[in-house]
Amino acid sequence: MPNHATAQQIGTGADFPIRETREFRFTDHDFARVRELIYRTAGISLTPVKRDLVYGRLARRLRVRGLSSFADYLRILKSGDRQEQEAFVNALTTNLTSFFREPHHFPILAEHLKGLGGRRPLSIWCCAASTGEEPYSIAMTVVEQFGTFTPPVRILATDIDTSVLDRARQGVYRLDRTDRLPREQLRRFFLRGDGNNAGLVRVKPELQKLITFRQLNLLDPEWPMRERFDAIFCRNVMIYFDKETQYGILKKFVPLLHPEGLLFAGHSESFHHAADLFQVRGKTVYAPRGGAPVTAGRRP
């Protein structure tokens, strides 16, 4: 059974100590090792204020493995247990998402695709797919723009977290996750569950076919993609990386974008430190520096 360790005293004075009791001992050294490992593995830069969050998420892994201390858990990670290393990354990855999150990007994408026309097959990469809401929102935008479930567009959706990718592939969501979608979109793109599946919806197979889901770590030294993309969605990902890591990833995006391609970022992300690589083309929309002089969503 796990031991119950008492954390350091906290409080306003020595006369009135308050003790926080935790199930597992979690030392400063343990936290430092976790920070170093997740940075090296996934590029995530954890600040000290994330310590409680880290404890809460990893404590679940200790219970699953029947361990009594973080030191034992870290020894397993160091031993090269690939299954646990994957679970470790999955546990510390934040997956906040929703359908048509940051909605101003999708009309820009539609106009961009319209400007490119049907002169060649088009490709879009969503590099933080999470549980699928973002790539499915991209797919819905594509279908509506071209007026068909067989548009000349390929969508690649990747994520480092294998567990959320499994959920994305299934395309099953609680009905309340689609509350903000217009009724026509809900009818066109989703199947409503009944009986034991009441309260759930499933993405229609014809929409799912537009997306290829793959596991990918943005910190991998080599990416498998050899094609160029017309748009890359990398939204609300860079906030977890330091500036040096951000720059390295952005540099690798450049040769993967067509000269007139667009990079979509999150609302709190800014790439001023990579002005030699990308130029602003709209609200959190960027184009490769030296690429075609387009206004976001418009063909030159």
* Residues 290, 294: Cα–Cα separation, whole Å: 11
DSSP 8-state class, residue 10:
B
Report the C-alpha gap between 109 and 224 in whole angstroms. Answer: 24
Which of 64, 101, 83 is CA-nearest to residue 162?
83
Chain centroid, CA 196 distance in Å: 30
Strands 229-234 vs 122-126: parallel, antiparallel or unpaired? parallel
Task: Say which of 30, 35, 159, 235 is annotated catalytic.
Answer: 159
Among the options 22, 25, 57, 154, which is catalytic? 57
CA–CA separation, 65 and 84 (whole Å): 9
Is 57 among the residues known to form the active site? yes
Q: Is 15 a catalytic residue?
A: no
Q: 162 and 95 in contact (C-beta within 8 Å)?
A: no
Can you tell me the distance from the alpha carbon of 85 to that of 37, in angstroms, rounded to the nearest whole number? Answer: 10
Extended beta strands in the chain, E state: 5-6, 21-22, 122-126, 153-159, 172-174, 190-192, 200-203, 211-215, 229-234, 257-265, 278-282, 285-288
- Residues 22/3, Cβ–Cβ less than 8 Å: no
CA dihedral (125, 127, 133, 135) in degrees, to 10, reads: 10
Three-state helix/strand/coil letters over 256-274: HEEEEEEEEECCCCCCHHH
Inter-residue contact 154 to 167 (CB < 8 Å): no
Q: Residue 19 corresponds to which tokens in the numbers above?
A: 């003790």
How many CB atoms within 10 Å of residue 193?
Answer: 15
Residues serving a catalytic function are: 57, 159
